[in-house]
């Protein structure tokens, strides 16, 4: 049984999210939650939010316990980029890219 949860347009760059997601790939849910609780990064909070949702989906849809579940895959895809400008010297402007991401976590009991 596979269950997933998706968070679209997360306000963090994919590069920052992948640093955290690589730490918890292929781990049991309890171990992954421990790692995410003690990481001092914004992306760990965002990934934890999606992981809790995926576990709740598995419990609601299939009655699965979080003790037997394992993270099968984590996909961090690039979302839309918001483009902003900032004023510079001599009347010029520079462009700032505010990146977003799509987070998908697939969990399974296998």
- What pTM did the predictor assign? 0.91
Give buried/exposed letters for 72-107 (b at 16+ CB in 10 A, else e). bebebeebeeeeeeeeeeeeeeeeeeebbbbbbbeb
Residues whose CB falls within 8 Å of the CB of residue 22, separated by 6 or more in sequence, listed in order: none
Q: Write out pLDDT tens, residues 56-83.
A: 999 999 999 989 999 999 999 999 999 9
Whole-number percent of the chain with pLDDT over 70: 100
Given this model, what pLDDT does residue 76 score? 97
pLDDT higher than threshold 90 for residue 12: yes
- Using the predicted structure, report yes or no on whether residue 104 has a pLDDT greater than 90: yes
Q: Please check the confidence at residue 10 and state whether its pLDDT lies above 90.
A: yes
* Domain harbouring 104, CATH code: 3.90.470.10
Q: Give the count of domains, the chain.
A: 1
| pLDDT score of 60 | 95
What distance in Å separates the CA atoms of residue 24 and residue 76, rounded to the nearest whole number?
Answer: 13
- pLDDT tier, 110 (very low <50, low <70, confident <90, very high otherwise): confident
103 is in which domain, residue-wise? 2-108
Task: Give the Cα separation of 63 and 69 in Å (integer).
Answer: 11
């Amino acid at each position: 049984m596979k269950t997933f949860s998706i968070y679209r347009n997360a306000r963090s760059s994919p590069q920052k999210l992948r640093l955290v997601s690589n730490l918890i790939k292929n781990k049991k849910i309890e171990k992954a939650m421990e790692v995410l609780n003690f990481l001092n990064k914004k992306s760990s909070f965002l990934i934890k939010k999606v992981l809790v949702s995926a576990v709740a989906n598995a419990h609601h849809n299939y009655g699965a316990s979080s003790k037997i579940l394992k993270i099968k895959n984590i996909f961090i895809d690039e979302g839309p980029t918001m483009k902003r400008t900032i004023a510079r010297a001599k009347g010029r402007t520079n462009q700032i890219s505010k990146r977003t991401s799509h987070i998908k976590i697939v969990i399974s009991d296998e």
